[in-house]
Amino acid sequence: MKFILLFLTLLASLWATKINDVSSIVGVRENQIIGYSLVVGLQKTGDGTTSKFTLQSISNMLKAMNIDMRPIDIKSKNVAAVVVTATLKPFARQGDKFDITVSSIGDAKSLEGGTLLMTPLKGVDGKIYALAQGAISIGGRNTRGGAATHPTTGVVFNGGFVEREINNNLYNQEYATLSLKEADFKNAVAVQKAINRYYHTQVAVATDSRSVKLKRPKNRSMIEFLAEVQDIDMNYKPKNKIVINERTGTIVAGVDIELKPIILTHGDITVKIVAQESVATPEGSVAVDKDLVIGLNENEIYTKKGTTTVANLVRSLQKMGATPKDVISILEAMKSAGSISADLEVI
């Protein structure tokens, strides 16, 4: 397994950033829609007779066209039953076009060359918000020139049409709420202070670790107000986090995430992290840099006080010959033991 180690320079100091980068407006969001339909025109790569719902759907469609045909009499392999999914952008208007995704739910071998029949797309409330129809693209050939990697999933570019708009009377509202992308009381207060400082009055108040309630000034519309708010600079402190991808062996961490002293044994690797005022160099040890020494005889890591971080720990483990799996297991164990205070996210 290839081992990739990325260290992002996420400084613990405050960052200057736009409010728009760390928050979103409550109520202004995308909406998921879904539908069921048939894809026709396939070259004998559609659903077989075992997909009874496909045969029933074909029968129902033909009945709507005044053709009475029993499902048991239908033998066509040029049709496939599919689920159609799409995302409506905020403030989508009637007649707007958008891309849709088509996925087979039967035993079809490929949707290549097929055409999606008119499909009503519904929201979670059961109402129809859009229609979809058109020729399906499955992305062509793979990198080796063979068949497409996922021939049973395709896209109809601009195949969706908005029929019903989602009401959002934002213009006439007096209040709005910002939702921070990550819950943090300090950042919520920082947003509040930045907005109030910009308007020289109390127009924002943090109500919890993620929400900041806004009151529109009398001399501005809500649209103007939100446009200004999103462009305001604020002092933002990013949350320390270690992200581990167990499948690829990738570890992403800030270079300043400190570790507390710990003694840990994993297989034939024993790690002893000792914080010292200065770094000693015992016999048989190897200096990685001026603040980091590895004791090869006992697999000990010596670091200068205040410099014991995830970054130099992983570097040390690599020098010891630890595999990506070993490194990930050690980090997870250290988090459980309380040696790592930052959030550990495994994906």
Report the C-alpha gap between 199 and 215 in whole angstroms.
Answer: 11
> Using one digit for the tens of pLDDT, what is the confidence trace for 178-220?
999 888 899 999 999 999 999 999 999 999 999 999 999 988 8
In a domain, 4, yes or no: no
> Using one digit for the tens of pLDDT, what is the confidence trace for 288-337?
554 454 454 555 555 555 557 777 777 777 777 777 788 888 888 888 88
What is the structure's pLDDT at 255?
62
Query: 252 and 278: one domain?
Result: yes
In a domain, 279, yes or no: yes
In a domain, 307, yes or no: yes
Q: What is the pTM of this model?
A: 0.64
Question: Cα 116 to the chain's mean position, in Å?
Answer: 29
In a domain, 1, yes or no: no
Query: 174 and 262: one domain?
Result: no
- Nearest 5°: the CA angle 65, 71, 73 is 100
What is the structure's pLDDT at 13?
42
Query: 51 and 115: one domain?
Result: yes
What is the structure's pLDDT at 142?
47
What is the structure's pLDDT at 302?
56
Ranges of residues in the chain with a pLDDT under 50 are 1-14, 141-146, 286-287, 290-291, 293-294, 296
Sign of the Cα pseudo-torsion (332, 337, 339, 345, in order): positive
In a domain, 5, yes or no: no
CATH number for the domain spanning 188: value is 3.30.1360
Q: Are 150 and 138 in contact (CB under 8 A)?
A: yes
Query: 200 and 259: one domain?
Result: no
What is the structure's pLDDT at 303?
55
Task: Please give the tally of structural domains in the chain.
Answer: 3
Decide which of 139, 162, 185 is a domain's last residue. Answer: 162
Decide which of 201, 220, 236 is a domain's last residue. Answer: 236
What is the structure's pLDDT at 1?
37
Decide which of 104, 139, 162 is a domain's last residue. Answer: 162
Q: Provide the residue range defining the domain that includes 50.
A: 31-162
What is the structure's pLDDT at 327?
81
In a domain, 8, yes or no: no
Per-position DSSP letters for 17-54, written without gaps between them: EEHHHHEEETT---EEEEEEEEEE--SS-S--TT-HHH
Report the C-alpha gap between 341 and 137 in whole angstroms.
Answer: 47
Sign of the Cα pseudo-torsion (307, 310, 313, 319, in order): negative
